[in-house]
Structure 1
Amino acid sequence: MTELEGLIRFWEATLKHAWFLLEPSVKLNIENNIKHLRELQ
């Protein structure tokens, strides 16, 4: 697993397990981070 893959999995797990604790702006920021990291792969 590359560092990018690890980061993507980390952010996806954060969304999956803690989405209800996140403010909408934080959730959107995480989703955008995931999209950006996937583009870098």
Structure 2
Amino acid sequence: MGLHDQVVFSLCWSYVVTLWSYVVLLETVFSPEMSYEVCFT
């Protein structure tokens, strides 16, 4: 990969991780029962 490809990949990966963390946080705050069901099934 070139430098440009590495930068784009890093930005996309950071965005995905941030978005996923935000969704997990929202589910944990607003609906802990649902999060536990999803995690343990």
TM-score by length of 1: 0.46
Bigger radius of gyration, 1 or 2?
2
Highest RCO, 1 vs 2 (Cα 8 Å, sep ≥ 6) = 1
TM-score by length of 2: 0.46
